[in-house]
Amino acid sequence: MTSPNDVAKLYRHIPGMPGGDLVTEALRAVLATAADGFDQVFSLLAPGVDAYAEQGWTWYLPADLYPHSAGVVPDRYVVVVLSVQRGVDERTVKNRVAAVTSASVSGMAPAG
């Protein structure tokens, strides 16, 4: 099992680790649509959010979705949202995760 704290620790170490710039660049270049067709443009990857991030998801049929969003906003704060959504459609799931991340990042000042 992985906790939000585990994911946050990983993101905090990326900038100082060997190859950290490569990881950051890859996270900044995440595609809008994943290889499996999942639309990733929500939460920390939504338009207007200054973050490098990664989305994650797992479907457990018939109706459970485990959507996750984790990243660094704006080059300073680590934000991790791991969730389990049961019995709701994909749009509702994305809206819920987006609401949590939006509330989390509102008012965050850039590094400087």
pTM: 0.84
At residue 59, the pLDDT reads 82
Residue 36 lies in a domain: yes
**Residue located via tokens 């660094």:** 72
Once rounded to an integer, what is the mean pLDDT over residues 81-95?
90
Q: Quote the number of domains for the chain.
A: 1
Residue 38 lies in a domain: yes
Range of the domain at 98: 4-105
Residue 112 lies in a domain: no
Cα(29)–Cα(59) distance, rounded to whole angstroms? 24
Residue 37 lies in a domain: yes
At residue 76, the pLDDT reads 87
71 or 112: which leads in pLDDT: 71
One-letter amino acid of 52: Y
At residue 112, the pLDDT reads 60
Residue 110 lies in a domain: no
The DSSP secondary-structure symbol of 45 reads G
Residue 15 lies in a domain: yes
Residue 12 lies in a domain: yes
State the CB neighbour count (10 A cutoff) for residue 40: 20
Mean pLDDT of the chain: 89
Q: What is the pLDDT of residues 25-74, one digit of tens each?
A: 999 999 999 998 989 999 999 888 889 999 988 888 777 888 899 999 98
Residue 47 lies in a domain: yes
Q: Strand 85-86 and strand 64-73: pairing?
A: antiparallel
At residue 111, the pLDDT reads 62
